[in-house]
């Protein structure tokens, strides 16, 4: 990985979602702009706020797809991320997210 690039793997099956009540929402359902969570697989040397295995929130329209060893990944820039989910939050961060 070069510069501020981040390689991520999408969570779950792309397109389909489940509501809080357990209702399956098909990929064909049209909803406004929606952000997506993914797991970080690799980072470039100039990435400062994200580590491997973090969960990140990003806009799915700002992405580049890449296939490595028969698996699909997304290539993002650090500045395109909206949030990073902390794996273990302390008493000082009640939200569990940091920017």
**Mean pLDDT of the region 59-87:** 82
Angstrom distance (rounded) from CA 33 to CA 97 = 21
- Does residue 61 register a pLDDT over 80? no
Q: Measure the CA–CA gap between 36 and 45, rounded to whole angstroms.
A: 24
Q: φ and ψ at 78, to 5 degrees?
A: -60, -35
Confirm whether pTM is higher than 0.75. Answer: no
**Confidence (pLDDT) at 72:** 84
Asked whether the beta carbons of 75 and 6 are under 8 A apart, the reply is yes
Diameter of the chain measured on Cα atoms: 42
Residue 46 near residue 14, CB atoms below 8 Å: no
10-52: pLDDT as tens digits? 865 456 666 677 777 666 665 667 788 888 999 889 888 888 8
In the prediction, which pLDDT does 29 show? 61
Specify the higher pLDDT residue, 99 or 46. 46
The reported pLDDT for the residue numbered 11 is 67
What tokens appear for 21 in the block?
A: 């009540």
């Amino acid at each position: 990985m070069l510069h501020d690039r981040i390689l991520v793997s999408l969570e779950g099956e792309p397109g389909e979602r489940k509501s809080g009540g357990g209702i399956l929402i098909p990929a064909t359902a049209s909803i406004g702009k929606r952000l997506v969570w993914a797991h970080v697989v690799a980072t470039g040397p100039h990435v400062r706020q994200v580590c491997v295995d973090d969960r990140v929130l990003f806009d799915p329209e700002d992405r580049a797809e890449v296939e490595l060893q028969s698996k699909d990944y997304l290539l993002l820039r650090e500045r395109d991320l909206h949030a990073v989910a902390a794996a273990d939050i302390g008493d000082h961060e009640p939200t569990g997210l940091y920017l």
